Amino acid sequence: MKYLVVTLIFFFTLLPLHAFEATNLQLLYSNSFDGDAFIYDTKDGKKTTLTVEHFRTYSLGDFFMFVDATDGTKFDGTTSSVYTEIAPRISFSKLLGKDFSTDIVQDVYIATQANFGDDYRAYLYGLGIDLNLPFFQLFSVNIYNKTENITNDDTYQVTTVYKSQELYGFHATGFIDMTKRDFSTQNQILFNLDTLLNLKEKIFLGIEWLYYDYNAKGTSSKTSAIQAMIKYNF
């Protein structure tokens, strides 16, 4: 199945842009990564992250990806790492030429994802749904089967992604990932500087709360960190 996921991702990268694309650059810093989660925490609690996010739509669906480049000394002595997630989806409405939308449901998707980081690989496939909910620009739920190379066994993953409407220059955005082994969430509260400064560029200041909890096969770890951040939308 991982070869199908990789093939779909390669296919999506070759498709022409259909209607919309958005890219942003984020810089985050925290000195509170002082938990015991190997994948997130550092020896002195300090970590800087540079994130690039990209989203685009195609004639058959949409495509999202991000790359995290981090700087901070981990427990194994490494000082930097790169982590990537690539997540193309195919719309049933566009694929079958039939409208699946209702008052609440916006669309239904075949959802895929591939994750890459240092020695880590994970491949996911399943179904996704976009919902029309009050006060949200975006609310999406994807349910996957997940295979990864660390544990070498399948699990489920439920991913919820959201972005609120803007209110007085503020909005909230983030995601929640749940599997049978772990729970992770990253949630941002951002202020649009254009509200005060009449900027031509889209620049946001705010904070991100990252929380991670792992518990499986007698091993547990947890971290919770607040990061200061600045975000620039291209």
Per-residue pLDDT of the chain (234 residues; tens, 9 = 90+): 555 555 555 555 555 555 688 999 999 999 999 999 999 999 999 999 999 999 999 888 999 999 999 999 999 999 999 999 999 999 999 999 999 899 999 999 999 999 999 889 999 999 999 999 999 999 999 999 999 987 777 899 999 999 999 999 999 999 999 999 999 999 999 999 988 888 777 999 999 999 999 998 888 999 999 999 999 998
pTM of the model: 0.90
pLDDT at 110: 96
What is d(CA 22, CA 126) in angstroms, rounded to the nearest whole number? 24
Q: Which residues contact 96 (CB under 8 A, 6 or more apart)?
A: none
Boundaries of domain holding 72: 2-233
What is d(CA 187, CA 9) in angstroms, rounded to the nearest whole number? 26
| Beta strand ranges found along the chain (DSSP E) | 21-30, 47-58, 61-71, 80-91, 105-117, 120-131, 136-148, 154-164, 170-178, 182-192, 202-216, 219-233
Task: Tell me the per-residue pLDDT of 77-131, one tens digit each, with 9 for 90 and over.
Answer: 999 999 999 999 999 999 999 998 999 999 999 999 999 998 899 999 999 999 9
pLDDT at 93: 94
pLDDT at 231: 98
Q: What's the CATH number where 220 sits? A: 2.40.230.20
What is d(CA 139, CA 7) in angstroms, rounded to the nearest whole number? 27
pLDDT at 10: 56
pLDDT at 15: 57
Number of domains in the chain: 1
Average pLDDT of the chain? Answer: 91
113-35-44 Cα angle (round to 5)? 110
